[in-house]
């Protein structure tokens, strides 16, 4: 069955290469195995579009094996194979280009207006059945996976221009974030997770369940989700100014004045207060850092990335758990002993404040003292020279007046 399916996909892919044979039916027979496979395929587009689409179809169809039937529907192509005849049609035998004499391929190229219309109607029926079976957006209860809105994977693929490199907003350890545009005007961010580790699936479900109904001006809002096989996608608010780290030591270093930095600090604190004290359950983020602070068009901060977040029971001061977070921002009691409480977020927030004031990474070593940021800040405080920790791109005279 595997060999038959692979031969069918190769034949169809080759038949679409000239840009004319984009509606094809096949009958493949392997005499040595006394096996026959029937297939149908259509591709809409030019040579490169068809090749890309059929490569995807080939990969997806392989996932159907060893089933006796399989089908694939994509924005630009449709394919199906089965061990039973799909249609009762008169066939035209042709010689196959496959190696050896043990195979025979019957190819039917759809011709004539009536046949094309009939096939298009057939494709339309499959498309309608597909959309009815997998609606674009569906309301769900957050307790059963799932956030309030489910998006169709292919709609997100189209909105991100097939997850093109030019639409990438950022990269992380478990995936990439893309800019997506709907109807030419509605812009969102789509976080695509790489499922190469069991932890990714857990974090995806965790993030959807935890923040589906958490709404606050300083928390990045989850708009929806999509889960199709190994493709896990989160649909989030689009933040035009990206992440805070870009303004502290990245490409936009030095563009934030003290008033803006102070407002960002207060906004992060407000968001954490909501998670820890104002929501109906206490949520610990566990990964507060500058790359997880996103900025709106007017530089209002929003805490993002709740993949590691978890609840803290009301009747417990802390929980003991395995470490998960980012070194350089982690409280000692949590990194060493797994003691987790809201104080862990508070510690990380303190490190972020130092980064905002100094314009330095927490893991960056000071050139003169060979100390990390936290150690350098503490020793500067003890020596009463803490003003030396302020970002050199700030106007110190103006900053002094505002900090008093």
What pLDDT score was predicted for residue 97?
Answer: 37
**Alpha-carbon torsion, ordered 318, 321, 327, 329, to 10 deg:** -20
Query: From CA 12, how far away is CA 14, in angstroms rounded?
Result: 5
Query: From CA 191, how far away is CA 182, in angstroms rounded?
Result: 16
- Partner residues linked to 311 by β-bridges: 283
Q: Write the Ramachandran bin of 145: left for phi over 0, alpha for psi from -120 to 50, otherwise beta.
A: left
How confident is the model over 147-196, as pLDDT tens digits?
Answer: 458 899 999 999 999 999 999 998 876 789 999 999 878 999 999 987 76
Residue % of the chain over a pLDDT of 70: 64
Does residue 247 register a pLDDT over 50? yes
Q: Tell me, which fold does domain 142-236 have in CATH? A: Phosphorylase Kinase; domain 1 (3.30.200)
- Partner residues linked to 235 by β-bridges: 190, 224
What pLDDT score was predicted for residue 313?
Answer: 66
How confident is the model over 211-220, as pLDDT tens digits?
Answer: 777 889 999 9
Query: From CA 297, how far away is CA 6, in angstroms rounded?
Result: 50
310 secondary structure, DSSP code: E
List, in sequence order, every beta strand (DSSP E) within 83-221: 93-94, 103-109, 168-172, 175-182, 186-193
Residues in CB range of 147: below 8 A, 6 or more apart? 140, 208, 212, 222, 224, 225
Query: From CA 13, how far away is CA 159, in angstroms rounded?
Result: 26
Query: From CA 216, how far away is CA 204, in angstroms rounded?
Result: 21
Q: Highest mean pLDDT range out of 41-50, 252-261, 304-313, 362-371? A: 252-261
3-state helix, strand, coil in the chain (%, to 5): 40, 25, 40
66 preceded by a cis bond (ω within 30 of 0): yes
Does residue 87 register a pLDDT over 60? no
What pLDDT score was predicted for residue 101?
Answer: 40
Least confident residue range of 88-97, 182-191, 236-245, 354-363 = 88-97
Q: How many CB atoms lie within 10 A of CB 183?
A: 6
What pLDDT score was predicted for residue 336?
Answer: 85
Q: Which superfamily, per CATH, for 245-403?
A: Transferase(Phosphotransferase) domain 1 (1.10.510.10)
- What is the band of 117 on the pLDDT scale with cuts at 50, 70, 90? low
- Whole-prediction pTM: 0.61
| Average pLDDT of span 322-344 | 88
How confident is the model over 100-114, as pLDDT tens digits?
Answer: 344 444 444 334 345
Burial of 209 (0-12, 13-18, 19+ CB in 10 A): middle
105-110-114 Cα angle (round to 5)? 150
What pLDDT score was predicted for residue 386?
Answer: 87
What pLDDT score was predicted for residue 397?
Answer: 66
Domain residue spans of the chain: 2-133, 142-236, 245-403
Supply the mean pLDDT for the chain.
Answer: 76
Residue pair 238/227 in contact (Cβ under 8 Å)? The answer is: no
What pLDDT score was predicted for residue 148?
Answer: 54
Residue pair 395/403 in contact (Cβ under 8 Å)? The answer is: no
Active site residues: 287
Residue pair 228/152 in contact (Cβ under 8 Å)? The answer is: no
Does residue 394 register a pLDDT over 50? yes
Residue % of the chain over a pLDDT of 90: 33
Pairing of strands 301-303, 310-312: unpaired
Query: From CA 245, how far away is CA 354, in angstroms rounded?
Result: 12
Does residue 20 register a pLDDT over 70? no
Does residue 396 register a pLDDT over 80? no
Q: Tell me, which fold does domain 2-133 have in CATH? A: Killer Toxin P4; Chain A (3.30.430)
Residue pair 377/359 in contact (Cβ under 8 Å)? The answer is: no
């Amino acid at each position: 069955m595997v060999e038959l399916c692979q031969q069918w996909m190769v034949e169809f892919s080759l038949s679409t290469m000239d840009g004319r044979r984009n509606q094809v039916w096949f009958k493949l027979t392997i005499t040595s195995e006394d096996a026959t496979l029937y297939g149908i395929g259509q591709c809409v587009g030019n040579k490169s579009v068809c090749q890309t689409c059929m490569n995807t179809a080939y990969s997806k169809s392989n996932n159907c094996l060893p089933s006796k039937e399989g089908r694939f529907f994509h924005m630009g192509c449709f394919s199906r194979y089965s061990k039973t005849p799909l249609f009762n049609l008169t066939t035209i035998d042709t010689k196959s280009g496959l190696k050896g004499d043990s195979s025979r391929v019957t190819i039917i190229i759809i011709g004539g207006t009536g046949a094309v219309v009939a096939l298009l109607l057939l494709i339309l029926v499959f498309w309608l059945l597909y959309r009815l079976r997998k609606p674009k957006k569906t309301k769900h209860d957050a307790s059963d996976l799932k956030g309030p809105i489910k998006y169709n994977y292919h709609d997100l693929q189209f909105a991100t221009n097939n997850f093109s490199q030019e639409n990438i907003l950022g990269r992380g350890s478990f995936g990439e974030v893309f800019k997506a545009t709907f109807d030419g005007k509605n812009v969102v961010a789509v976080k695509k997770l790489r499922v190469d580790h069991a932890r990714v699936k857990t974090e995806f479900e965790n993030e959807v369940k935890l923040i589906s109904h958490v709404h606050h001006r300083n928390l990045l809002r989850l708009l929806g989700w999509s889960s199709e096989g190994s493709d896990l996608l989160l649909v989030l608010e689009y933040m035009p100014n990206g992440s805070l780290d870009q303004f502290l030591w990245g490409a936009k270093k030095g563009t934030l004045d003290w008033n803006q930095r102070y407002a960002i600090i207060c906004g992060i604190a407000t968001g954490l207060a909501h998670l820890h004290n104002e929501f109906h359950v206490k949520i610990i983020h566990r990964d507060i850092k500058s790359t997880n602070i996103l900025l709106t068009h007017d530089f209002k901060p929003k805490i993002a990335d709740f993949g590691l977040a978890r609840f803290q029971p009301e009747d417990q001061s802390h929980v003991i758990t395995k470490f998960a977070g980012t070194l350089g921002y982690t409280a000692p009691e949590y990194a060493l002993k797994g003691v987790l409480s809201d104080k862990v977020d508070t510690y990380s927030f303190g490190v972020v404040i130092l980064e905002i004031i100094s314009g330095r990474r927490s893991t960056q070593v000071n050139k003169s003292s060979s100390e990390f940021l936290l150690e350098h800040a503490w020793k500067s405080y003890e020596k009463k020279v803490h003003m030396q920790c302020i970002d050199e791109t700030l106007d110190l005279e103006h900053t002094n007046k505002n900090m008093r």
